[in-house]
A and B are shown apart, each in its own frame.
Chain A
């Protein structure tokens, strides 16, 4: 009949099959930097290394700085004391004081040298004025020859009022050695820290791997088709537990959907077989047994009606699928349901009156909603269709739409046979038809569509007993940022 239809169906059928081909066949060894475990571990190692280095460097720097300041203070005090000796007792007193210091501290670090203006040594434990020491009052660190062996000293020269110059200093060779020791120690420590960092990184990586291994094996099993697998929770309530829970919820939903698909395909196969059989039988019967052109004509017309019914079922199914896919949410617009509901009421009131039913309608003045007008319209129309269809003459159908704070509630209740408790949960499934409804016309898709529309709008469809009859309640979240909010 139509070549377009098989093409589009074919496309639709092929789509899911294409997905596995697009996926890489095997998990190949990936570059190390691609591994999140390695990346986290490296980040850990780098942060650890930088902080260790900063710690070591500040330790080194402050220790040496403290020593330097201590030596400088000692030299300064010493020089001041000697200057005072000179002021009180002149040059002799100074020479005696220096002599005392030299003899007191035989193995000491003190360095003294007093020279006259022409540079000749008067007293001191240095043989000559160190080279390079030119400025009075400045700090110098110079190599000196002291009692025959080489050393390093921190030195400062002071001018004596009579023109002599006094050099006071401290041997800091020991301090240099300390610095070396410290440097080596810190270098060792750094090496150790580096090793520890790498070790920690490896530890983190294996921890990380172990934590995601369960997730990845489970999901891989599911990708292969084993939908029963679930991720084990550690029970610690940590982030990985949370992730596991989210993934498990997702898997539950996927498997529910898969069940739904399976059930729907079965239902399609089963529920469409009946009308197709009927149409086919009618046509075949007519071609074999029709005695007149009128017989043939009427058989063809009835078969066409049957086929239209099948097309209607297909369209309803596609529409539900379209709604459930959620793509219509992009077309949501701010609407006021009230005028639209009045229109539906007016449309169905005539039908109700013709059938001798009372339609009691109460619709609030404003019912602001962010949604799809056409879909809500169809959902409400479906419920009214149902209510009118199952009502006996003389009974009342009530149609109430109101807003309760953030909730819009549209309730349609009839006094018909209703739906039994055990069937009520399944009533919104596709193709489900309660026993009592088997004899009436209908596809069994009406409530499924209503439920899908409600869900698309983040609302619900609730079916309740109307004692007797059915009360169907659609709740939808109202649009609150609206000028006509009460």
Chain B
């Protein structure tokens, strides 16, 4: 994937660029708003990682608003030290697709960027999801693995749906909290782990090949072995 990083802090930018390249992406970097806008408007990117406070007269919000005004729908993840609820709302209102507050874990950023680009591609409603021999019918709300039918609680169904929509990608605990439970804060207890382990009991335990994997220091990933 081709990703643009607009970030003025050298250390943060270097760290992010290096990490993204290691994850196999092509990365361009701009260290001020004007260059960032120029790059974003003139070239095609799969995602943009955007700081809010930037030198060069154009801050992140202005940059994004200008970009959206030109009908450029490239997914944008804000990466900002402005972490209040209002800041977040402002960022999303301006056209941001996700908002991550500094300081951040790189795994979180990477997972969110990759999740976004996937979301950008899927147009048209899907009615059926499949990972390996695990199948989910969104219309009849039923789940099967191989020939065996699996009974899930409504919330477990949504959790699995989220994981299946992001199959092959790392999904962090915060992403699950936001995406499945609509929570925007971190509970002190390991609630997500408990729910994921229950889901794992149902979809993986009786079978030989595990699909739901724990990714150390990051989160979870649903994938069939061949990916």
- Which of B51, B81, B194 contacts A351, CB < 8 Å? B194
Interface status of A318 (Cβ within 8 A of chain B): yes
**Binding site of A, secondary structure by majority: helix, strand, loop or mixed?**
helix
Q: Is A354 a contact of B194 with CB atoms below 8 Å?
A: yes
Q: Is A350 a contact of B53 with CB atoms below 8 Å?
A: no
Bound-state Cα–Cα, A294 to B84, Å: 38
- For B102, the chain A residues whose CB sits under 8 A away are 2, 4-5
Interface status of B189 (Cβ within 8 A of chain A): yes
Q: Which of A29-37, A51-59, A209-217, A341-349 is found at the contact surface with chain B? A: A341-349
Chain A, residues 386-399, CB within 8 Å of chain B (1/0): the string is 00110000000000
Q: Is A385 a contact of B83 with CB atoms below 8 Å?
A: no
Q: Is B51 a contact of A301 with CB atoms below 8 Å?
A: no
Q: Is B82 a contact of A2 with CB atoms below 8 Å?
A: no
Q: How many residues of B contact A (CB 8 A)?
A: 34
- For A307, the chain B residues whose CB sits under 8 A away are 103
Interface status of A137 (Cβ within 8 A of chain B): no
Interface status of A8 (Cβ within 8 A of chain B): yes
- For A100, the chain B residues whose CB sits under 8 A away are none
The residues in A between 325 and 383 inclusive whose CB is less than 8 angstroms from any CB of B are 327-328, 331, 343, 346-348, 350-351, 354, 374, 377-378, 381-382
- For B190, the chain A residues whose CB sits under 8 A away are 351
- For B51, the chain A residues whose CB sits under 8 A away are 4
Interface status of A124 (Cβ within 8 A of chain B): no
Q: Is B9 a contact of A385 with CB atoms below 8 Å?
A: no
Which residue in chain A gives the minimum CB-CB distance to B51?
A: A4
Q: Is A351 a contact of B189 with CB atoms below 8 Å?
A: yes
Bound-state Cα–Cα, A343 to B189, Å: 16
Interface status of B198 (Cβ within 8 A of chain A): yes
Interface status of B169 (Cβ within 8 A of chain A): no
Which residue in chain B gives the minimum CB-CB distance to A442?
A: B188
Q: Is A301 a contact of B189 with CB atoms below 8 Å?
A: no
Bound-state Cα–Cα, A301 to B107, Å: 13
- For A350, the chain B residues whose CB sits under 8 A away are 191, 194-195, 198
The residues in B between 5 and 41 inclusive whose CB is less than 8 angstroms from any CB of A are 8-9, 11-12
Q: Is B12 a contact of A388 with CB atoms below 8 Å?
A: no
Q: Which of B42-50, B120-128, B177-185, B207-215 is found at the contact surface with chain A? A: B177-185
Chain B, residues 69-109, CB within 8 Å of chain A (1/0): the string is 00000000000111111100000000000000111010000
- For A322, the chain B residues whose CB sits under 8 A away are 84-85
- For A2, the chain B residues whose CB sits under 8 A away are 9, 11-12, 81, 102-103
Chain B, residues 183-222, CB within 8 Å of chain A (1/0): the string is 1111111110011001000000000000000000100000
Interface status of B141 (Cβ within 8 A of chain A): no
Interface status of A441 (Cβ within 8 A of chain B): yes
Bound-state Cα–Cα, A331 to B53, Å: 25
Q: Is B183 a contact of A377 with CB atoms below 8 Å?
A: yes
Q: Is B84 a contact of A4 with CB atoms below 8 Å?
A: no
Bound-state Cα–Cα, A5 to B101, Å: 11
Interface status of A234 (Cβ within 8 A of chain B): no
Q: Is A385 a contact of B189 with CB atoms below 8 Å?
A: yes
Task: Give chain A nearest CB distance to B84 CB in angstroms.
Answer: 5
Q: Is B185 a contact of A378 with CB atoms below 8 Å?
A: yes
The residues in A between 1 and 40 inclusive whose CB is less than 8 angstroms from any CB of B are 1-5, 7-8
Task: Give chain B nearest CB distance to A167 CB in angstroms.
Answer: 97
- For B149, the chain A residues whose CB sits under 8 A away are none
- For B81, the chain A residues whose CB sits under 8 A away are 2, 4-5, 8
Q: Is B188 a contact of A446 with CB atoms below 8 Å?
A: yes
Task: Give chain A nearest CB distance to B13 CB in angstroms.
Answer: 10
- For A381, the chain B residues whose CB sits under 8 A away are 183, 185, 187
Interface status of B155 (Cβ within 8 A of chain A): yes
Bound-state Cα–Cα, A378 to B182, Å: 11
Task: Give chain B nearest CB distance to A461 CB in angstroms.
Answer: 18
- For A328, the chain B residues whose CB sits under 8 A away are 85
- For A312, the chain B residues whose CB sits under 8 A away are 186
Q: Is A385 a contact of B188 with CB atoms below 8 Å?
A: yes
Q: Is A3 a contact of B195 with CB atoms below 8 Å?
A: no
Bound-state Cα–Cα, A446 to B185, Å: 12
Bound-state Cα–Cα, A332 to B155, Å: 27
Which residue in chain B gives the minimum CB-CB distance to A374?
A: B184
Q: Is A388 a contact of B189 with CB atoms below 8 Å?
A: yes
Bound-state Cα–Cα, A348 to B194, Å: 9
Looking at B84, B190, B217, which has the most chain A CB atoms within 10 Å of its CB? B84
Q: Is B188 a contact of A1 with CB atoms below 8 Å?
A: no
- For B189, the chain A residues whose CB sits under 8 A away are 348, 351, 385, 388-389
Known contacts A2-B102, A4-B80, A318-B83; A347 and B12 CB within 8 A of each other:
no
Task: Give chain B nearest CB distance to A272 CB in angstroms.
Answer: 14
Task: Give chain B nearest CB distance to A343 CB in angstroms.
Answer: 7
Which residue in chain A gives the minimum CB-CB distance to B102?
A: A2
- For B52, the chain A residues whose CB sits under 8 A away are 4
Q: Is A4 a contact of B185 with CB atoms below 8 Å?
A: no
Bound-state Cα–Cα, A5 to B79, Å: 12
Interface status of A284 (Cβ within 8 A of chain B): no
Q: Is B8 a contact of A3 with CB atoms below 8 Å?
A: yes
Q: Is A3 a contact of B188 with CB atoms below 8 Å?
A: no
Q: Is B9 a contact of A3 with CB atoms below 8 Å?
A: yes
Looking at A1, A315, A350, A377, which has the most chain B CB atoms within 10 Å of its CB? A350
What 5 pairs between A and B have smallest CB-CB spacing?
A4-B81, A5-B81, A350-B194, A4-B53, A385-B188
Q: List 24 A-B contacts (CB under 8 A).
A: A1-B12, A1-B103, A2-B12, A2-B103, A3-B8, A4-B102, A8-B53, A8-B82, A307-B103, A308-B105, A328-B85, A343-B181, A346-B155, A347-B187, A347-B195, A348-B191, A350-B191, A351-B189, A354-B194, A374-B85, A374-B184, A377-B183, A378-B185, A389-B189
Given contacts A2-B11, A8-B82, A343-B182, 13 further A-B contacts (CB under 8 A): A1-B9, A2-B12, A3-B9, A4-B52, A4-B80, A346-B155, A347-B181, A350-B194, A374-B184, A374-B185, A377-B183, A385-B187, A388-B189
